[in-house]
Each structure stands twice: as structure tokens, then as C-alpha cells.
Amino acid sequence: MSVTTRSPARLWVAGAVVVGALAFLVFQGLGNATLYFRTVDEAVAQRGDLGDRRFRIEGDVVPGTVRTAEGGVTFTLAGKRSTVEVTHTGNPPELFRPEIPVVLEGRFEGERFASDRMLVKHDETYVAENPDRVADYPADPAAAEGAGPRPKAP
């Protein structure tokens, strides 16, 4: 084979590898962006439909239910009408405690929700107790010269 016949073949192979890598990245990004988000009440009501698919669940940590477990914590998550037992793998965030809202990422495993990612929203108490950790924004950001939109708390 001459050099001229090998070059186009190499370009096609290299192009296929690049296209494959880009397709993988897009698939991963869209997969994370399309995770279903459910409240505890919705998730419990739709447990059969959700099956073992990964999704995000939101609720409040029930006081008196948090227990340290091997490799994580267990607790009960409550909605307005329903509760679900949770097994979380990994260390919970520093702000994790009973009676606060959390968003968990994971799936049902039988009757329990198994999570491996936890997001905790801090409240006004955290802001009051940690003023040095929270930026001081004006009540009306548009009123402050050069101020951008007020960031949302996680």
C-alpha cells in the first residue's frame, strides 16, 4: 500500500474515535441532566413505575432516625404524607442534620432508597451562625450599582 492510501484510512479511524468520544460525553451529560426529580410522596406513589431507575428524591430528614452505618448513614426521609427509609453510602455533608431538606440521588432497592449523593440546603439559621461564609448581598440586587442577579442558595 502506498502512503496516499493509508492516510485517508488513518483519518477515518481518527475521526471515528473523536466522534465516538464526543457521543459518549454528550450521552453522559444528557443522562445526568435528565435524572427524574421526585418528592417523597411522588416517589412512594410511583415506586413500581420507577423500578430500579436512578432519580433524585427530596424530603426532610425525620428527627431521631439518623443512624451511623457501615460506610454511611441511614435515616427516614419524609414528605407531606409519606416516608421512605434511606441508606446513604458515603459521608453526608457537614450541614446534614434532622429536620432539614435534602435531595438524594439514587434508586429504590426493595422498600428502601439507596443513595450515593446528597445535597443539603442551608437555611436562615446557617446564614445567621456563619455570616463570614455567606456573601453579603443587597436585598434588591438591581438597586446596587453593577450588581448581578442574586445567587440561589444550594
Looking at residues 120-148, what average pLDDT do you find?
51
Residue 22 is predicted with a pLDDT of 81
Contact 57, 104 (CB under 8 A): yes
Q: What is the pLDDT of residues 28-86, one digit of tens each?
A: 655 555 567 899 999 999 998 888 899 999 999 999 999 998 899 999 999 999 999 99
**Spatial distance between the Cα atoms of 44 and 28, rounded to a whole number of angstroms:** 27
Q: What is the pLDDT of residues 79-107, one digit of tens each?
A: 999 999 999 999 898 888 888 899 999 99
- CATH architecture of residue range(s) 36-124: Beta Barrel (2.40)
3-state secondary structure 103-121: EEEEEEECCEEEEEEEEEC
Contact 119, 152 (CB under 8 A): no
For the chain, give percent helix, strand, coil, nearest 5.
Answer: 35, 30, 35
Contact 150, 141 (CB under 8 A): yes
Identify the CA nearest to 104 among candidates 58, 145, 136, 138.
Answer: 58
pTM above 0.75, yes or no: no
